[in-house]
Homo-oligomer: A and B are copies of this chain.
Amino acid sequence: MTTTRAEPQPADFADVRTTNLAVVLRHLRTHGPSSRAAIAASTGLTKATVSSLTGDLIGHRLLRETGLSGNRIGRPATVLALDGSAYASIGIQVGPDRLTALAVDYSGDQLLLWHRAVDRAARNASAITALAQRAAGRVRQQGRHVLGLTVAVPGLVEENGTVRLSPALGWSGLDLRAQVAGSLRSGDLAVSVANHAALAAVAEHRHGGHPEATLAYVSGAAGLEAGLIVDGRPLRGGRGYTGQLGRFTLGPAGTPSLQDNAGIEPLVRRALPDFDPEALADLGPAVEQVAVRARAGDPGVLAALRHTGSYLGQGMALLVNLLSPEVIVLGDHFATLAEWLIPAAEAELNRHTSIRGTRITASGLGLHAAALGGAVSHLDQVDTGRIPRPLG
């Protein structure tokens, strides 16, 4: 009999404590401020264990005492609340035409959101590092500890942070993580680089109001890619890559790909044949223009949206037939056009699968969901009970 699965690791009491720290944090995140007794009653942990765990968390500035609860029989109890203000994290989203920096704290509060226009020549590791440096400086000025930085990039990104191929950015074999980490002044910042759609999916799952265990985020910001959450976690591809939706074709050589039919840039070219192609470097204004003309009832624009929507529905059918996600979120530029795209997509989806019940919706996170997901991913480790080392 061959052995085939991951080696289980011996468990010890440290694992138990880590798990129980996570249980306490989770209780407070779900139920809001609570007394130690309420935490114990709800989690099944003993009061002594809860006291020890919450002491640790207060020491790390992850909890704070907020006063006494009055609304109960007997002695008033001290109420504990999550205190997310001490820890923050930064996401930088790299698009064809701009860099976006975003910082959030552990409570999920957005601390800053900056956009920088960049052209192809200026879109490099130095520009990313400089922006990250300034964002980290600003957050540290507020007395917060910056846990990490994630750079969100379209295309194939290796787990070690090398961008293997990003047609939208014109990058291949770029060791972006090493370049950024090497030139950051503060060497203690954890740096990672990941696919932008995968990070946007994390943001939707955590902050977008889509707590479903299996979720697909469809991005049209730079090509056509999907970010996939499966069983509550980002899907890790066997070779490290996932969600390359735009490459789908079915037919003899030369058959157009899904990107050709459902991508945002082809949509803009179809909907606005009079649009200056030079301006396509920045899709945002063009997409707004499509929305304006659709709202005015322009038949050519509406036909182009129907075309894109039906092919998008075929792409969704691929996702539904393979993974049956509970929700598919149309992201970034697709979200801007969702009111026209979704009806066409849903009709087509139902023709191409027998699986029902996947909810199709538009992202409410705007164009910087990937930056948010990048920032959030460093804060996730805290929720699993691996709490940061005490603040110096």
- Copies of the chain in the assembly: 2
Within 8 Å by CB of A215, from B7, B206, B238, lies B238
**B353 to A247, Cβ gap below 8 A?**
yes
A192-216, CB < 8 A from B: 205-215
Asked whether A163 is an interface residue with its Cβ less than 8 Å from the other chain, the reply is no
**Which residues of the other chain, B, contact A230 by a CB distance below 8 angstroms?**
230, 235-236, 238
- Cα A325 to Cα B13 in complex, Å, equals 35
Q: Taking the complex as formed, is A358 at the interface, i.e. its CB lies under 8 A from any CB of chain B?
A: yes
**Contact indicator B355/A4 (Cβ below 8 Å):** no
Residue in chain B with minimal CB distance to A379: B1
Q: Is residue A52 within 8 Å, beta carbon to beta carbon, of the partner chain?
A: no
A235 to chain B, nearest CB (A): 7
* Whole-angstrom CA separation of A353 from B215 in the bound complex: 23
Find out whether the CB atom of A322 lies under 8 angstroms from the CB atom of B4.
no
Q: Scoring A residues 71 to 89 as 1 if CB is less than 8 Å from chain B, else 0, what string do you get?
A: 0000000000000100000
Q: CB of A243 within 8 A of chain B?
A: yes
Set B7, B209, B321: member contacting A30, Cβ < 8 A: B7
Kindly state the interface size class of chain A when it binds its partner: 35 or more
A23 to chain B, nearest CB (A): 5
Known contacts A226-B322, A237-B323; is-contact A207 B1 (Cβ 8 Å)? yes
**Residue A6 CB within 8 A of the other chain:** yes
Interface string of A1-34 (1 = CB under 8 A from B): 1111111111111011001101100100110000
List chain B residues, Cβ under 8 A from A214: 236-239
Q: Are B242 and A250 in contact (CB under 8 A)?
A: no
Contact A357 B239 (CB under 8 A): yes
Closest CB in chain B relative to A243 CB, distance in Å = 6
**Contacts A214-B238, A238-B213, A355-B239 given: A247-B11 contact, CB under 8 Å?**
no
Task: Give the contacting residue for A248; candidates B84, B232, B318; CB below 8 A.
Answer: B318
- Residues of chain B within 8 A (CB-CB) of A390 are none
Q: Are B211 and A4 in contact (CB under 8 A)?
A: yes
A258 within 8 A of B: yes
Residues of B within 8 A of A248 (CB): 250, 317-318, 321, 352
On chain B, the residues within 8 Å of A311 by CB distance are 250
CB neighbours (8 Å) of A156 from chain B are 354-355
Residues of A within 8 A of B (CB): 1-13, 15-16, 19-20, 22-23, 26, 29-30, 43-45, 84, 107-109, 156, 164-165, 205-215, 226, 228, 230-232, 235-245, 247-251, 253, 255, 258, 261, 311, 314, 317-327, 351-358, 383-385
12 chain-A/chain-B pairs, Cβ below 8 angstroms: A1-B29, A1-B84, A1-B207, A5-B211, A9-B23, A11-B16, A11-B20, A214-B239, A230-B230, A238-B325, A239-B325, A248-B318
